[in-house]
Amino acid sequence: MLFSDSYFTVSKSAEGVFRDRGSKFLAFVFPVKTEDEIKEYLAGLRKDHPQANHHCYAWRLGADKQRYRVNDDGEPSGSAGRPIYGQIQSKDLTNVLVVVVRYFGGTLLGVPGLINAYKLAAADALNNATIEEAFIQFRYRINFPADLTSEVMRLLKQCDCKLEEQDYAEEMSIYFTIKKHHEDQLLEQQKKLFRTRMEVIGMV
Instruction: Encode pLDDT of 3-44 as tens digits.
Output: 578 999 999 999 999 999 999 999 999 999 999 999 999 999
The pLDDT tens digits of the residues spanning 64-77 come to 899 999 999 999 99
Q: What is the pLDDT of residue 58?
A: 98
What is the band of 59 on the pLDDT scale with cuts at 50, 70, 90?
A: very high
Q: pTM of the full predicted structure?
A: 0.83
DSSP annotation string for 138-204: EEEEEEE-GGGHHHHHHHHHHTT-EEEEEEESSSEEEEEEEEHHHHHHHHHHHTTSTT-EEEEEEE-
Q: Is 15 helix (H, G, I), strand (E, B) or coil?
A: strand
According to CATH, where is 3.30.70.240 located in the chain? 136-203
Q: Which CATH architecture has domain 136-203?
A: 2-Layer Sandwich (3.30)
CATH number of the domain located at residue range(s) 6-134 in this protein: 3.30.230.30
Over the chain, what is the mean pLDDT? 94
The pLDDT tens digits of the residues spanning 88-136 come to 999 999 999 999 999 999 999 999 999 999 999 999 999 999 999 999 9
Which is nearest to 71 in space by CA: 62, 52, 84?
84
Q: What is the pLDDT of residue 204?
A: 77
According to CATH, where is 3.30.230.30 located in the chain? 6-134
Q: What is the pLDDT of residue 89?
A: 98
Strand partners, 176: 140, 163
Q: What is the pLDDT of residue 2?
A: 52
Q: What is the pLDDT of residue 121?
A: 98
The pLDDT tens digits of the residues spanning 172-201 come to 999 999 999 899 999 999 999 989 999 999
